[in-house]
Chain A
Amino acid sequence: YTWDANEEYLFKAMVAFAMRRYSNKSTTQISNVLLCDVTDRVSFWFVVTDSSKNVTTVPGSEVEAAIRMNRNRINSAFLLSDKTLQFLKITSTLSPPVESSTPVWLIVFGVVLCLIVAGIVFLIVTGIQQHKKKNKESTEREKLEEKGEVTVTVENGIPCETLDLKAGHINGVFAADDERFTSL
């Protein structure tokens, strides 16, 4: 927005408002605030007069204190900030940075760590289970192999061990007939 006489009027009003709030007197009028040396850059000097005491100016320290107290109201009236609306010799106080009770990073760290530990535990447990299963499988396979021989021989009907010549009889007829075969 452009700076014109209306804005100057608003400024005078705000300074008067600040003086009223600060000193709790309702005597300061808009006409008590005088602007001078307005430049194109929009910078100017202003003084506040005290109409109750022979047109003398209010001391600068009082004006400074008043403005400092109401700085944010003045800023928001002009839609400006401490940086864009500067009062020379009135420095703005620094606002302390927001500090949360628990540092945020600890919370994030806790989340990350929980995920990692859960992953590790999961993998170790599955590893142990696999190991046990492999052990169980290998012992079962051994047992199965032993059992397998027994079952095979039983299923066939004729136990293999009985075919072992120790238990049987040698049929002498067939054994002796070997010589009857003519050699080719």
Chain B
Amino acid sequence: LSVPPELPKEDGRPKWDNKFQYILSCVGFAVGLGNVWRFPYLCQTHGGGAFLIPYFIALLFEGIPLLHLELALGQCLRKGSIGAWNTISPYLGGVGAGSWMVSVLVSLYYNTVLSWVMWYFINSFQEPLPWSVCPLNENRTGLNKECYESTAVNYFWYRKTLNIAPDITESGTLQWWLILCLAACWAIVYLCTIRGIETTGKAIYVTAIFPYLVLTIFLIQGLTLPGATEGLAYLFTPNLNTLKNPRVWLDAATQIFFSLSLAFGGLIALSSYNPPKNNCEKDAVTVAIVNSVTSLYASIPVFSILGFKATTAYWDCLDRNIIRIINEFDLPEESIMRQNYTAWFSFLNSSYPEKIAGLKLKSCDLQEFLDQSVSGTGLAFIIFTQAIILMPGSQAWAILFFIMLFSLGLSSMFGIIEGVFTPLLELRVISKSIPKELLSGIICLISFLIALCFTLGSGSYWIDIFDSYAGSLPVLVIALFEVTGVAYVYKIKRFSKDVKWMTGRKPNLYWQITWRFVSPLLLLIVLVAFVTLQIQKPPSYTAWNPKYEGFPMKEEKVYPPWVLAICVLLAVLPCVFVPLVALFHLIKRMCRSKDPSFVLPEVFSCQGANS
């Protein structure tokens, strides 16, 4: 009698405490490890400042429209990915199942990467840092051979952390220290996602904001280091010639895509806890812009520190040459400094060329040191750790750096786990008897047990496989189906009406054009280009093999056929849900079409779902 008509029906669905928590969760999900260790690398290899052009074009025509689509979908339908796509159309139910599968696969290996970060973090409390010195060999006559031939940092990463096998087929044993760290990581994930967004909403305040603080501290420190300006100049000097290479455009499109964590189902899950009347258009633009700005902001300290490392290596090279020249020619100390090294060298080379040649001096080139850039785990665990040793107060810097990486990864894990958790909560009505805490505990336990195989000796090779095959191709396919499904099966007109009901404004021409034509087309081109590039060369990997004659260079190896089969399986498994479910419903309809009384429910809208 007394219920006012505007009050939405209480469906017992958990909701965000406030809007800021929701935005922070989306931003935390989007901003992850890739913003720190993939974007700066791409920027630097693809022509510096010039890379920003394809990056922003991809953001404008692919990133933001898809983001808006997913957020609006979740908010309107108030269900996780599987339920949402089932509601849009039963034939598209496979899209939801596919994105759920992708979230499951990604969560397995992503947390293992976090366990590596945790391992480095708990090792940062020692003085001196364990990756700065080589251990002695058995009879204490010299340094450990593997460490001596490569560097202490490489040795700590490949031997002490991963205990890496020389080949992917040799599984090796389970590394007990990695198991401990993995257990701790999954325990932390369980602690934060134990009651769904009630607990992640509180945790996200810390894990999403803390990285920005640490980045700022590193920014200030990095800019004061010598050589920072060289690193930054190297990063941002635009080289417009690289834009002619289609590879650059492809990398920009894929980077925007994976950076925003689209098509994982996580964004749909996060926005499904929103009140229906929420301006999702503004949210989408905000999240996308914050993500890109964070990438740019993170690349500044990363490259200042890389510039510092290159400059220090260059100075070391020069110093070694200077000592050898001084020893050879018995010149007084400090007669040759770094500044007049080239002048002295040319003078001595012209006067005593045989002596100089006999010294076998290594040529020192700053550009060469700057060119040694890596992306991914190599950047964080090898290059950055080496740079940290050179900074004064290395323990503090190491601790800060690894906590930052951990919170970045953890906030992304929240989004991924929500993408797994929310559909499960809705899918099984039996789950009413299972409390949320138990369900999330079961998910975390099963994932931990499966992820144990990444702690084997060959684990990091498998993680590379999962990253390249399960986290890349299926996501593109699912996103393509998402956009075409909403644009052509659900129809943009209906969708625009729903968005207008939610935000109060009809989506303008930009959204209409991108949703209908530009984004699907762009995604199709990116997908085709991606597949062709993958097929062109046989997939190979580089292995760390101490017995290799070119050691410490990594050995190029080809995947054996059974591993290739697994790669294909990983890439195809999430995608195959889409046609399978559609086929299943088609067959069901054909069986039912013999029964004329059955009417397929067609009319549906946002308001209909809620009132």
Point out residues on A near B: beta carbons under 8 Å: 39-43, 94, 96-97, 104-105, 108-109, 112-113, 116-117, 119-120, 123-124, 127, 131
Contact = CB atoms under 8 A, between A and B. Distances in A.
Interface stretch (B189-197, B262-270, B356-364): B189-197
Given A41-B330, A119-B191, A127-B437, A104 B140 contact: no
Given A120-B190, A124-B437, A97 B126 contact: no
B458 to A, nearest CB: 24
Given A105-B125, A105-B126, A117-B187, A96 B199 contact: no
Given A105-B123, A105-B126, A41 B326 contact: yes
A108 B125 CA distance: 8
Nearest to B123: A105
B122 interface: yes
A94 B191 contact: no
B90 interface: no
Interface string B290-330: 00000000000000000000000000000000000011001
B188 interface: yes
5 contacts: A40-B331, A41-B333, A120-B191, A123-B194, A131-B435
B199 A123 contact: yes
B437 A40 contact: no
Contacts of B123: 104-105
A123 B195 contact: yes
A113 B435 contact: no
B180 interface: yes
A42 B333 CA distance: 8
Nearest to A127: B437
B8 interface: no
A96 B122 contact: no
B184 interface: yes
Nearest to B188: A116
A127 B195 CA distance: 9
Interface in B120-138: 122-123, 125-126, 133, 135-136
Interface in B321-353: 326-327, 330-333
Nearest to B121: A108
Contacts of A123: 191, 194-195, 199, 437
Give the interface centre of B181, B191, B333 by most chain A CB atoms within 10 Å: B191
B187 A109 contact: no
B378 interface: no
B333 A124 contact: no
Interface in B530-547: none
Nearest to B142: A94
A127 B126 CA distance: 38
A116 B125 contact: no
A97 B195 CA distance: 47
Contacts of B140: 94, 96
A115 B142 CA distance: 41
A112 B122 contact: yes
A41 B123 CA distance: 43
Give the interface centre of A42, A117, A123 by most chain B CB atoms within 10 Å: A123
Contacts of B437: 123-124, 127
A19 B455 CA distance: 57
Nearest to A37: B330
A60 to B, nearest CB: 20
Given A41-B332, A97-B135, A120-B194, 13 more contacts: A39-B330, A41-B333, A43-B330, A94-B142, A97-B136, A105-B125, A105-B126, A108-B125, A109-B184, A116-B184, A120-B190, A127-B194, A127-B195
A113 B187 contact: yes
A54 B141 CA distance: 40
Contacts of B119: 105
Contact of A109 (B122, B133, B330): B122
A41 B328 CA distance: 10
Contacts of B122: 105, 108-109, 112
A105 B331 CA distance: 48
A105 B195 CA distance: 31
Contacts of A117: 187
A124 B437 CA distance: 7
Interface in B131-157: 133, 135-136, 140, 142-143
A40 B332 contact: yes
A41 B330 CA distance: 6
A40 B194 contact: no
B180 A109 contact: yes
B195 to A, nearest CB: 7
A74 to B, nearest CB: 19
Contacts of B125: 104-105, 108
Nearest to B195: A127
A96 B332 CA distance: 34
